[in-house]
């Protein structure tokens, strides 16, 4: 992975009338708009991995509160020194460019980010400032930033730059019309050494040229890059896993806190919405000489470690990184998986409707030590990404890490009823369809079709549309709006035995679990799974939400998804684990998860649990703990921390109610817990560390009676069917409406029957 480019941001500032050589003229403007724009520039630099030093950020905040003239002077003093150039737009819309005080230092095979000043005397607005260079490398259409080696062969010494303005949020593309503002430009250099080059700043309205500047010469000095080879050693002393080099996530920061490679100009497989990159043992990163703080890990089952490295001024250098694993569920047969990740759309860049390739996604699966990654093609990228579907695991898979392409029904006519994940498909096109618009406009027909071919199916991001606000009670009896794209029509589909699972971890925990608890109380047996919806709900990394499925033999995709269907799994954020959960010796997912009692009695519950917290809360983790449950992160072990201790509660849940509890120390050690719990009538039993992990249930049947745990749950479900019909019927096609109404009537009848059979409140 050598030769990835580093970013440096250049801010170009406006000219006034006169200034000393290397300085930019000061402009007299109002304090408030300048301070606000300077704050956005500072935020943009942080986002791009090139933050201002802490002292300068504090000085900007102080300047915003100072008196008018003093504040304006102070802001320009702070920002001007980081400006490569100044651009003056005269009253008659002519452009003049001059060099700024920032030293024109570039980096070989890297991007540099410098602070810019625009003195807009004309107050011209709604035009874009663009940058070009006669020394810029020609680009291919597909590369979006990579030099085309064929096109610059005639002038290899003159074409060595790539230049572009940064106009993304928190900035905007067009000039604001303020008399003074700061913009950001990025410069990539192919070569090392002293290189004279020109930069030209123009103003455009779309494709129309509004005003053209003149090239300004800069004598750039590009420092040679060092190829830093990474030696990566796993916790067991190995450098390979399943025959492939170990992969891990690395974040490199210099002494100023700047991230390398700069996120803004990364190309796949490095994603521009990440700080981390994924590298395998033996791969490299290009860095300039100096000190770097490196954060590295391999998913939540490993400790996040830090190491300071010093890169010497030489062509090549090697650094060694030793990983530390704190828990290893796969070694005990519990294999992690995220069944909802995407290779296109949402945060993905370049061409979101196409996205990235399986090779790119596999690096992320490996780097987060995710045993199973289900890459789902969906609406925005359907016609391109569906080409990667094979009806089997991808050839890039290893014995310990599987990648498979399947389908999320999202952006389809039925999406208003709830997005659904279709796993283990053999065919991905609904019968008789050629376009997305041909698919059914409600969920049940799709579920039935997918299950008929052996698919494992369930709802994605279940909580959307099941909003009950920031309440903590489970179960609660608030009837949600049923107006979203989560497990809304699940309330109907579960009565048709059409839905295998509902997803958890990527939406508010109470919203997800509430509908599940109610249907379990009615005797239905849908299971839960864990997902991330990467990079739409969570873009930080794959595997933030996981299902840990127990397999008796080696890792196998069909067996893993069957484990989801049968509930032989627990869900987790990866920071707590509920392994080997049994009731009277029966493991979850075994023998239909049924324990039979001739009469009321006591059951014995056992599990091996582990969790990891830092010994004391930090300001960052304390913020998570105090955040309402309906705000991100929705599931996190910090939310389970008991006061300021290192303990978390393990709870036994019977029919939705916590009935027993033990506290464990979240020091990463594996601990066995045992409970003895009375069961008076047929019930479902589960374990949880709320909201970090949750098992699927074991069903305890007393006298072979069905579970009828709560009249209030049955009443809630009946009301939810009516609410769902009111919301969904308006978007179901007329040709399908009669069949949909029949399915809803079936659900109403089912819940009325359950209600009549239930005596317990």
pLDDT higher than threshold 80 for residue 18: no
Residues 528 and 460: their CA atoms lie apart, in Å, by 11
Please give the radius of gyration of the chain, using alpha carbons only, rounded to the nearest integer.
29
Is residue 544 helix, strand or coil? coil
Q: What is the 3-state secondary structure (H, E, C) of 312-335?
A: CCCCEEEEEEECCECCCHHHHCEE
Per-residue confidence (pLDDT) for residue 553, from 0 to 100: 94
pLDDT of residue 157: 56
Residue 330's nearest CA partner among 370, 281, 375, 361 is 370
Is a pLDDT exceeding 60 seen at residue 3? no
Q: Bridge partners of 569? A: 549
Tell me which of 747 and 18 has the higher pLDDT.
747
Please give the average per-residue pLDDT across 185-197, as a whole number. Answer: 87
Q: Between vectors from CA 697 to CA 693 and to CA 700, what angle results, nearest 5°?
A: 150
Picking from 52, 178, 47, the residue whose alpha carbon sits closest to that of residue 120 is 178
In this predicted structure, the answer to whether residue 401 has a pLDDT above a threshold of 60 is yes
Q: What is the pLDDT of residue 479?
A: 97
Q: Is the pLDDT of residue 663 over 70?
A: yes
How does residue 19 score in pLDDT terms, banded at 50, 70 and 90? Answer: very low
Helix (H) or strand (E) run with residue 343 in it = none
Nearest-angstrom CA–CA distance, 710 and 707: 9
Q: In this structure, which topology does domain 329-571+710-761 adopt according to CATH? A: TIM Barrel (3.20.20)
CATH of 8-141+158-222, one of 2.20.28.120, 3.10.450.50, 3.40.630.30, 2.60.40.10: 2.60.40.10
| Cα gap 302→369, rounded to integer Å | 9
254 neighbors 237 (Cβ within 8 angstroms): no
Residue 138 reports pLDDT greater than 60: no
CB-neighbour burial class of residue 552 (10 A; exposed 0-12, middle 13-18, buried 19+): exposed
Q: Is the pLDDT of residue 202 over 60?
A: yes
Phi (first) and psi of residue 459, to 5 degrees: -85, 145
- Whether 499 contacts 525, CB under 8 Å: no
Residue 310, classified by CB atoms within 10 Å of its CB into exposed (0-12), middle (13-18) or buried (19+), is exposed
What's the pLDDT at 352? 62
| Mean pLDDT confidence for 670-676 | 98
Strand partners, 294: 252, 307
* CA distances (Å), origin 187, targets 11, 255, 693, 725: 11, 21, 46, 55
Average pLDDT, integer, range 287-298: 94
Q: Could you tell me the CA-to-CA distances from 732 to 420, 439, 440, 444, 724 in Å, in that order? A: 16, 11, 9, 12, 12
Q: Residue 351: what pLDDT?
A: 66
Q: In CATH, what number does 226-325 get? A: 2.60.40.10
- Give kind and range of the element (H or E) at residue 56: helix 54-65
- Half-sphere exposure for 338 (CA within 13 Å, toward CB): 32
pTM of the model: 0.82
Average of per-residue pLDDT values in the chain: 91
Phi-psi region of 482 (alpha: psi -120 to 50; beta: other; left: phi over 0): left
Residue of 376, 371, 420 whose CA lies nearest to 548: 371
More confident residue, 263 or 300: 300
- Distance of alpha carbon 245 from its chain centroid, rounded? 25
Residue 156 has pLDDT above 50, yes or no: no
**The pLDDT of residue 140:** 32
User: In 697-733, which residue ranges form alpha helices assigned H by DSSP?
Assistant: 711-728
Give the model's confidence band at 161: pLDDT under 50 very low, under 70 low, under 90 confident, else very high.
Answer: confident
pLDDT at 680: 97
Asked if residue 160 lies in contact with residue 195, where contact means CB atoms within 8 angstroms, the answer is yes
Indicate left, alpha or beta for 471 from its phi (over 0: left) and psi (-120 to 50: alpha): beta
What is the rounded distance in angstroms from the CA atom of residue 724 to the CA atom of residue 125? Answer: 47
d(C-alpha 389, C-alpha 428), whole Å = 8
Check: CB of residue 708 under 8 Å from CB of residue 753: no
Q: What's the pLDDT at 349?
A: 53
Q: Cα separation of 13 and 9, whole Å?
A: 13
DSSP annotation of 427: -
Helix (H) or strand (E) holding 698: strand 698-702
Q: What are phi and psi of 505, to 5 degrees?
A: 90, -30
| Average of per-residue pLDDT across 556-566 | 98
> Going by C-beta distance under 8 Å and a sequence separation of 6 or more, which residues neighbour residue 606?
580, 581, 582, 672, 673, 674, 675
Whether 136 has a pLDDT exceeding 80, the answer reads no
* pLDDT of 137: 58
Q: pLDDT digit string (tens) for 343-365?
A: 998 887 556 668 999 999 999 99
Residue appearing with tokens 């494992």: 456
CA 676, chain centre distance (Å) = 40
Confidence of residue 265 (pLDDT cuts 50, 70, 90): low
Which whole number is the average pLDDT over 45-55? 86
Domain residue ranges in the chain? 8-141+158-222, 226-325, 329-571+710-761, 573-708
Angle between helices 54-65 and 68-80 (to 10 degrees): 160
Distance of alpha carbon 162 from alpha carbon 132, whole angstroms: 8
Residue spans of beta strands (DSSP E) within 212-361: 216-223, 226-233, 240-241, 244-245, 247-254, 259-260, 277-280, 284-287, 290-297, 305-311, 316-322, 334-341
Q: Is the Cβ–Cβ distance between 574 and 300 less than 8 Å?
A: yes
Structure tokens at 144: 């979006």
Cis upstream peptide for 309 (omega within 30°) = no
Return the pLDDT at 230: 98
Cβ-contact 164, 227 below 8 angstroms: no
Q: Which single residue is written with the structure tokens 């009321």?
A: 600
Euclidean distance between CA atoms 123 and 246, whole angstroms: 55
Q: What is the pLDDT of residues 611-654, one digit of tens each?
A: 999 999 999 999 999 999 999 999 999 999 999 999 999 999 99
User: What tokens does 533 get?
Assistant: 């919806």
What span, in angstroms and rounded, lies between the C-alpha atoms of 476 and 484? 19
Helix (H, G, I), strand (E, B) or coil at 250: strand
Residue 146 scores a pLDDT above 50: no
Q: Can you tell me the mean pLDDT for 122-131? A: 92
Q: Does domain 573-708 have CATH number 2.60.40?
A: yes
3-state SS, one letter per residue, for 687-711: EEECCCEEECCEEEEECCCCCCCCH
Q: State the pLDDT at residue 389.
A: 97
Q: Would the pLDDT of 31 be above 70? A: yes
Q: Please state the rounded mean pLDDT for residues 456-470.
A: 97
Q: Among candidates 121, 124, 134, which has minimal Cα distance to 210?
A: 124
Residue 118 φ/ψ, nearest 5 degrees: -115, 110
Please state the rounded mean pLDDT for residues 115-132.
92
Q: What is the mean pLDDT of residues 717-723?
A: 98
User: What percent of the chain clears pLDDT 70, i.e. is strictly above it?
Assistant: 93
Q: Three-state DSSP class for 444?
A: helix
Contact (Cβ atoms closer than 8 angstroms) between residue 564 and residue 603: no
pLDDT at site 1: 38
- Strand stretches in 410-492, DSSP E: 420-423, 456-459
Of the candidate ranges 13-27, 196-210, 422-436, 747-761, the one whose mean pLDDT is the lowest: 13-27
| pLDDT of 369 higher than 80 | yes
- Quick one: pLDDT at residue 612? 98
Amino acid 11: pLDDT: 40
Residue of higher predicted confidence among 13 and 505: 505
How many beta carbons lie within 10 A of that of residue 674, not counting itself?
A: 9
Could you check whether the bond before residue 475 is cis, i.e. omega within 30 degrees of 0? yes
d(C-alpha 708, C-alpha 726), whole Å: 27
Q: DSSP string covering 491-530, please? A: HHHGGGT---EEEESSS-HHHHHHHHHHHHHTT---EEEE
Place of tokens 């317990």: 760
* pLDDT tens column, 55-68: 999 999 998 888 88
């Amino acid at each position: 992975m050598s030769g990835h480019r580093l970013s440096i941001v250049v801010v170009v500032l406006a000219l006034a009338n006169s200034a000393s050589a290397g300085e930019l003229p000061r402009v007299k403007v109002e304090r408030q708009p300048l301070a606000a724009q300077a704050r956005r520039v500072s935020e943009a630099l942080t986002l791009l991995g090139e933050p201002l030093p802490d002292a300068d950020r504090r000085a900007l905040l102080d300047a915003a509160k100072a008196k008018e003239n003093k504040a304006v002077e102070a802001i320009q003093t702070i920002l001007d020194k980081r400006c490569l150039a100044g651009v003056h737009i005269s009253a008659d819309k002519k452009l003049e460019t001059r060099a700024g005080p920032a030293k024109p230092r570039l980096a070989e095979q890297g991007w540099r980010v410098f602070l810019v000043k625009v003195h807009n005397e004309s107050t011209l607005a709604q035009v874009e400032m663009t940058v070009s260079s006669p020394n810029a490398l020609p680009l291919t259409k597909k590369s979006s930033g990579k030099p085309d080696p064929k096109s610059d062969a005639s002038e290899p010494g003159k074409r060595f730059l790539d230049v572009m303005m940064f106009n993304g949020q928190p900035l905007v593309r067009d000039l604001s019309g303020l008399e003074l503002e700061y913009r950001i430009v990025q410069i990539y250099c192919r070569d090392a050494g002293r290189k004279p080059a020109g930069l030209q700043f123009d103003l455009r309205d779309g494709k129309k040229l509004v005003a053209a500047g003149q090239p300004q010469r800069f004598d750039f000095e590009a420092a040679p890059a060092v190829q830093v080879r990474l030696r990566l050693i796993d916790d067991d002393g190995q450098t390979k896993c399943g025959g492939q080099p170990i992969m891990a996530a690395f974040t490199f920061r210099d002494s100023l806190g700047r991230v390398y490679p700069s996120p803004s100009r990364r190309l796949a497989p490095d994603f521009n919405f990440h700080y981390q990159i994924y590298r395998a043992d033996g791969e490299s990163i290009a860095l300039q000489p100096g000190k770097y703080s490196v954060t590295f890990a391999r998913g939540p089952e490993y400790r996040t470690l830090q190491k300071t490295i010093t890169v010497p001024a030489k062509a090549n250098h090697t650094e060694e990184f030793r990983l530390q694993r704190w828990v290893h569920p796969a070694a005990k047969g519990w294999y992690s998986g995220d069944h909802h990740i995407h290779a296109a759309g949402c945060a993905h860049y370049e061409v979101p409707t196409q996205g990235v390739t399986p090779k790119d996604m596999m690096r992320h699966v490996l780097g987060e030590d995710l045993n199973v990654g289900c890459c789902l093609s969906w609406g925005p990228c359907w016609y391109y990404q569906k080409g990667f579907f094979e009806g089997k695991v991808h050839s890039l898979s290893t014995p310990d890490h599987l990648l498979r392409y399947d389908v999320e029904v999202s952006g389809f006519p039925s999406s208003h009823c709830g997005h659904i994940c279709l796993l283990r498909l053999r065919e991905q096109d609904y019968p008789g369809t050629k376009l997305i618009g041909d698919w059914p406009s409600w969920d049940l027909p799709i579920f039935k079709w997918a299950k008929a071919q052996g698919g494992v199916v369930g709802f994605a991001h279940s909580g959307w549309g099941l909003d009950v606000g920031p309440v903590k009670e489970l179960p609660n009896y608030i009837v949600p709006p049923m107006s979203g794209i989560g497990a809304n029509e699940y309330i109907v589909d579960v009565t048709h035995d059409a839905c295998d699972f509902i997803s958890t971890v990527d939406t508010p925990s109470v919203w997800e679990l509430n509908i599940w608890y109610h249907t379990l109380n009615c005797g239905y047996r849908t299971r839960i799974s864990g997902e991330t919806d990467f990079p739409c709900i969570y873009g930080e990394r794959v595997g933030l939400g996981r299902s840990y499925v127990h397999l008796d033999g080696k890792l196998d995709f069909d067996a893993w998804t069957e484990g989801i269907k049968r509930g032989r799994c627990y869900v987790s954020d990866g920071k707590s684990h509920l392994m080997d959960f049994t009731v009277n010796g029966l493991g979850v997912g075994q023998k239909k998860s049924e324990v039979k009692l001739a009469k009321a009695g006591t059951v014995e519950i056992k599990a091996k649990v582990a969790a990891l917290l830092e010994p004391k809360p930090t300001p960052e983790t304390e913020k998570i703990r105090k955040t309402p449950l309906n705000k991100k992160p929705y599931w996190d072990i910090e939310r389970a921390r008991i006061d300021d201790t290192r303990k978390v509660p393990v709870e036994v849940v019977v029919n939705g109610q916590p009935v027993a509890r033990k506290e464990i120390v979240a020091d990463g050690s594996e601990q066995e817990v045992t409970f003895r719990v009375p069961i008076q009538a047929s019930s479902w039993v589960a374990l949880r560390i709320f909201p970090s992990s949750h098992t699927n249930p074991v069903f305890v049947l007393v006298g072979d009676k069905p579970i009828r745990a709560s009249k209030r749950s049955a009443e809630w479900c009946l009301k939810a069917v009516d609410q769902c019909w009111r919301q969904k019927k308006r978007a179901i096609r007329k040709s399908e409406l009669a069949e949909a109404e029949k399915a809803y009537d079936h659900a109403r009848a089912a819940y009325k029957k359950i209600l009549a059979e239930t005596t317990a409140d």
